[in-house]
Structure 1
Amino acid sequence: MQLQQRINAFAKLGGFLGQFSNKDIHKKNDIAFNDLFYDGFKHQIKLAEEYNGWFSEENILFALNTWSNLLNISNINAWIKNYNFNNVKSKKVAIIMAGNIPLVGFHDFISVLISGHDVIVKQSSNDKRLLPFLTKYLEHVEPEFKNKIQFTEDKLDSFDAVIATGSNNTARYFEYYFRGKPSIIRKNRNSVAVLTGNESKVQLKLLSNDIFRYYGLGCRNVSKLFVPEGYNFDSFFEAVYHWHPIVEKAKYANNYDYNKAVYLMSEFDMLDNGFLILKEDSSYSSPIATIFYENYNFLEELNKKLDADKDHIQCVVSENVREKEIGFGETQKPQLWDYADEIDIIEFLLTI
């Protein structure tokens, strides 16, 4: 299969996904094979939500809309323009996917295929509905994808390289089990925001999306704030209040109630607005419905700390604080060339 065929197929998939967004779900007339797949995919969205209580329709559609915006000819060409695919010898690449947010392993999936390799996918039990269905759509759009994509629930075998995402504990197992294969092994990471006290109401409101989207379950969700000594959180709480309906979701509410009870019984100091708890803590990974915060005195010292802890951090949200930073409200809108853990997957795939 030629590279242009793969590009065209993913662009058509992007067009298909464009029918499903938070604002409007409607069937379009110019989408290839729509009569075969449109109603079926609507059903898969419903099943995914029913099977996993964290996969709300809103969050599923947000993920689909994000991928629709990414998968177009212009974007894909911009992504791959600096790579040379001419000498790729097709190999089998296994992907072990997490299941914390909808389609969380999709970037690995398209990276393997755009590089010209075959893929073996081992999905999380929490996210098994959407990707197999989208694979069938890809195979109809570009029949040469058939026999290049395999899903398995069994022990992985007969593969040449692996991309695995999991916790710090599972990463140790992955590193041992796949020690003889070229691999990318991802561990736990969290995202942080650095506030200076000069943020506008708009910026703080955008930050709330970085915190609450996907209930805070993604590695790109902000789980910790760094704030100047004496920071007043009133403006922050006011800006995030529009997310208060999240506490009506049973799974989120259960976590909020449990964590609040634990903190109260342990007599920890905390700030609470009825759906979000702020707790001073040096850790990066906060529980659901909780955001940790830590005070700083000088930005120069804080940047040194963040540099030293870079292996624990996925994104840093700030404005004019660091050389590599992400704008407020942008953590869940990565580009195709924004690689997790800053590991260039395409470069890896071109060298196996």
Structure 2
Amino acid sequence: MLQKDKINAFIELGKFLSQFQRNKSEKIEGVKLNELYYDRFISLIELSQSHNGWFTPEQVYFSINSWAAALTEDNLNKWISSYDFSKVNTKTIGLILAGNIPLVGFHDFLSVLISGHKVLVKSSSNDQHLLPFLANYLIEIAPDLKDYITFTEGKLENFDAVIATGSNNTARYFEYYFKDKPSIIRKNRNSVAVLNGKETTEDLVNLGEDIFRYFGLGCRNVSKLFVPEGYDFKNFFEAIFEYQDIIKYEKYANNYDYNKAVFLMSLFQLLDNGFLTIKEDASYASPISSVFYEFYKDIKDIESRLINDKDSIQCIVSNNLVSNSIPFGQTQKPKLWDYADNIDTLDFLLQL
């Protein structure tokens, strides 16, 4: 199957996804297969929360909109322009996907197919419906893809390489189990924000997006703040107040109540606004509904630490205070060329 045909299929998928907006979905003339897939996809989106309580319609629509923005002809061509696909020897790549946020494994799925390989997908039990639906749409658009896409509910078998995502504990299992196969094994990572107290209200509102999107369940969610000594959190709390409705979601509220109680019983000092607790802590990984923070004296010390801890960090957010940081509000809007864990997935696939 020609690569251009695969690219065209994903472009059509991007057009299909662009129709779906929270509270204002509308068919666009000329989008292929709307008569078969449009209404079914809206139903699936609305049912997603019954499959996974964290997959509210708002969060699913956000993920869909992000992929609609990514899957354009310009983006796809820009992404692949620096790679040589001429020597690909088609192999089967096993994908073991996480299920923490909607369509979290879509980039790996896309990368395998664009690179010229076949994909064997083992979906997470927490996200079993969205990706297969989109895969079926792609196959309807480009029937030859049927020979390139397989989903399995059982043990992965008959594959040549693997990309697996899990916790630090499951990653150790993956590393042992797949030790004889080329692999990318992804572990727990967290994202951080570095502040200096000069951030605008808009910056801090956007930081709230980095914290609360997907209820904080993603590795690209900010879970740790580095702030200068004497930092006053008043402006931060005022800016993020617009996210207060998050506490209305039962699963989030239950985590907020539980984690706050644990902190208080342990006599930790907390700052609390009724839907988020912040706690001084050296760790990067904070529990749902909480963000950790640390004070710093010299920004250079933070930059050195983040370099040393790069294997634990997914994204760094700041107003260019440290190198390799991205603007506030952008953590959940990666480009196709923004690879998870800074591992070039396409390069890995092209080396097989």
| TM-score, L = length of structure 2 | 0.99
Partner residue in 2 for 1:87: 87
**Distance in structure 2 (CA, Å) of the matches to 1:121 and 1:230:** 49
Structural RMSD (CA): 0.7
Please tell me whether the aligned partners of residues 19 and 27 of structure 1 are also in contact (alpha carbons under 8 angstroms): yes
Please tell me whether the aligned partners of residues 220 and 315 of structure 1 are also in contact (alpha carbons under 8 angstroms): yes
**Distance in structure 1 (CA, Å) of the matches to 2:54 and 2:139:** 29
1:39: how far off?
1.1
Partner residue in 1 for 2:204: 204
1:117: how far off?
0.4
- Gap runs ≥5 in structure 1: none
**Distance in structure 2 (CA, Å) of the matches to 1:351 and 1:334:** 24
Alignment of 1:4-19 (within 5 A): 4-19=4-19
Whether 1:50 aligns to 2:50 is yes
Please tell me whether the aligned partners of residues 85 and 350 of structure 1 are also in contact (alpha carbons under 8 angstroms): yes
**Distance in structure 2 (CA, Å) of the matches to 1:235 and 1:67:** 33
Partner deviation per Cα, 1:227-265 (whole Å, 9 max, x = no partner): 001100000000000000000100000000111111111
Partner residue in 1 for 2:340: 340
Q: Which amino acid is the alignment partner of residue 193 of structure 1? A: A
Please tell me whether the aligned partners of residues 207 and 328 of structure 1 are also in contact (alpha carbons under 8 angstroms): yes
Alignment of 1:57-136 (within 5 A): 57-136=57-136
1:3: how far off?
1.3
**Distance in structure 2 (CA, Å) of the matches to 1:3 and 1:306:** 38
Partner residue in 2 for 1:188: 188
Please tell me whether the aligned partners of residues 303 and 323 of structure 2 are also in contact (alpha carbons under 8 angstroms): no
**Distance in structure 2 (CA, Å) of the matches to 1:156 and 1:320:** 43
**Distance in structure 2 (CA, Å) of the matches to 1:161 and 1:266:** 45
**Distance in structure 2 (CA, Å) of the matches to 1:22 and 1:205:** 21
1:322: how far off?
1.8
Q: Which amino acid is the alignment partner of residue 81 of structure 1? A: S
1:63: how far off?
0.1
Partner residue in 2 for 1:246: 246
**Distance in structure 2 (CA, Å) of the matches to 1:351 and 1:37:** 36
Partner deviation per Cα, 1:158-179 (whole Å, 9 max, x = no partner): 0000000000000000000000
Partner deviation per Cα, 1:257-289 (whole Å, 9 max, x = no partner): 111111111111000000000100000000000
* Matched-pair identity in %: 59
**Distance in structure 2 (CA, Å) of the matches to 1:45 and 1:31:** 19
Q: Which amino acid is the alignment partner of residue 98 of structure 2? A: A
1:23: how far off?
5.4
Whether 1:161 aligns to 2:157 is no
Please tell me whether the aligned partners of residues 14 and 70 of structure 2 are also in contact (alpha carbons under 8 angstroms): yes
SS at match of 2:197: coil
Q: Which amino acid is the alignment partner of residue 326 of structure 2? A: I
Please tell me whether the aligned partners of residues 191 and 220 of structure 1 are also in contact (alpha carbons under 8 angstroms): yes
Partner deviation per Cα, 1:275-321 (whole Å, 9 max, x = no partner): 00010000000000000001100001111111111100000000121
SS at match of 2:95: strand
Alignment of 1:186-335 (within 5 A): 186-335=186-335
1:21: how far off?
1.8
**Distance in structure 2 (CA, Å) of the matches to 1:347 and 1:204:** 36
**Distance in structure 2 (CA, Å) of the matches to 1:146 and 1:257:** 47
Partner residue in 2 for 1:171: 171
* Structure 1: 4+ residue segments shifted above 3 A: none
1:180: how far off?
0.4
Please identify, of 262-271 and 8-17, the stretch whose mean Cα deviation from structure 2 is larger. Answer: 262-271
**Distance in structure 2 (CA, Å) of the matches to 1:22 and 1:272:** 30
